[in-house]
A and B are shown apart, each in its own frame.
Chain A
Amino acid sequence: MKPDKEKIDNGRRSFIGAAAGVSAAVVAPGVVLHTVDATAAPRTEPVTDLHRWGMLIDTSKCADGCSACVSACDRENGLNLQSKPLGDDPLKWDNQRAVWIRKVKLQDNTTGRITNLPLMCQHCENPPCVDVCPTGASFKRADGLVLVDRHTCIGCRYCMMACPYKARSFIHEKVDQKLTRAPRGKGCVESCTLCVHRLDEGDISTACADACNAEGHQAIVFGDLNDPDGPLRQALRQVPSRQIRQDLGLNTGVRYSGI
């Protein structure tokens, strides 16, 4: 690890700790939370495959009952601005509103052990949603993000049929309120973007990982899968990890340990 990175990250972490009203000491040292690009700035060149963004989620650190990542994502991407259309059935609406990240709680059938984990778009290297999209609106960006180009999405929902992770949402209703950084409209499909607006501004972080760190759990490590010395690869070297539905050979960008 380069010493300058260490310094910078400590500064960042202490800030987050303070912001959350937690003393900086609560945040355990030792795990690097963010990659810091020396040239961080709004980008002026198109993204390349030099980076591939991904995550490691340590399920042993993911706390039962905590949903900080979910609410942070909702705020970050304007998902909390959705409102139930007048007259819709509340139970149906629960299944119709867009969700980018979910808190999933599992119990092992044999041992009874409980596991918690956040589940979102896994940003596959070989994404089934991209394969099936008839117009090419569902696409993989050069830096590994699997995104939807709303300008060419016709709303056929075939990608939702193809996704093994139930990661995608269709916008079932008119959207009145939206954020500038997260456009959203009736009739298109969307899913987790790994906070692409942050990445494009040169800020290597996601709302969910920040929120998890602020809670002091540090279950989510976000970073560059292509950077051998980066925090993500270091973390992946330290703990055994696997992919959800590894059998499908999709080479996901989001990895889990402890499942």
Chain B
Amino acid sequence: MAIKAITKSGLLVLAAAGAFLASAGARAEQVGDFVLPSSKAAKVENCVEPTEYMRRNHFEVIRHQRDTTVYGGIRSTKHSLAGCVDCHVGYDESGQPLSVSDEGQFCSACHDYAAVTMNCFDCHATVPEGESWNHETAALHGHLGIDLAARAAGPDAPAHREGSQQ
């Protein structure tokens, strides 16, 4: 009788542990798929680097770009944070962009899960905002020979919601 009870409770524990592992696995699956369906990123095959590489190294990439931009003035490469935001920002039904650092959105979904604090958005914009300046002004300044098409194809291209190229 006693043995039976022990076996029974042991099985219960095992079952509970199994259920827990299964749920953790399910959550891990979700983590792998945080690209929002409404974002531009959902429509492209890969990020600017292979997905696996970006998952592990995106911070190194962003930080390297940060110094290049601040000290070297190079803003147009594919590793810019503005590009990350532009491509990964999700949109609600009415087409309004949702802040990437809001709960459940691209950046914070994963960062909350991994319990890693983000500092980027203390200062940086969480939705593409004011980018139209580049677009409009560059058009006005067309005589300067700025290649609009090349810029639009870049990751820090101006925000135009219908654009799906990356």
Contact = CB atoms under 8 A, between A and B. Distances in A.
**Are chains A and B touching directly in their complex (CB below 8 angstroms)?**
yes
Interface of A: 8, 11-12, 15, 19, 36-38, 40-47, 76, 78, 139, 141, 143, 147, 149-151, 175, 177-188, 196-205
B138 A203 contact: yes
B139 to A, nearest CB: 10
27 contacts: A12-B141, A41-B150, A42-B75, A42-B146, A42-B151, A43-B73, A44-B76, A45-B74, A46-B74, A47-B72, A149-B71, A178-B123, A178-B124, A179-B130, A179-B133, A180-B85, A180-B86, A180-B129, A180-B159, A181-B134, A199-B73, A200-B73, A200-B75, A201-B75, A201-B146, A201-B151, A203-B144
A41 B72 CA distance: 15
Interface string B6-32: 000000000000000000000000000
A12 B144 CA distance: 9
A201 B138 contact: yes
Q: Bin the interface of chain B by size.
A: 35 or more
A19 B66 CA distance: 35
Contacts of B82: 180-181
Contacts of A200: 69, 73-76
List 9 tightest A-B contacts by C-beta distance, closest first.
Answer: A46-B72, A179-B130, A185-B123, A42-B76, A183-B123, A185-B122, A47-B73, A40-B144, A200-B73
B129 A196 contact: no
B122 to A, nearest CB: 4
Contact of A43 (B74, B147, B150): B74
A198 B146 CA distance: 12
B124 A183 contact: yes
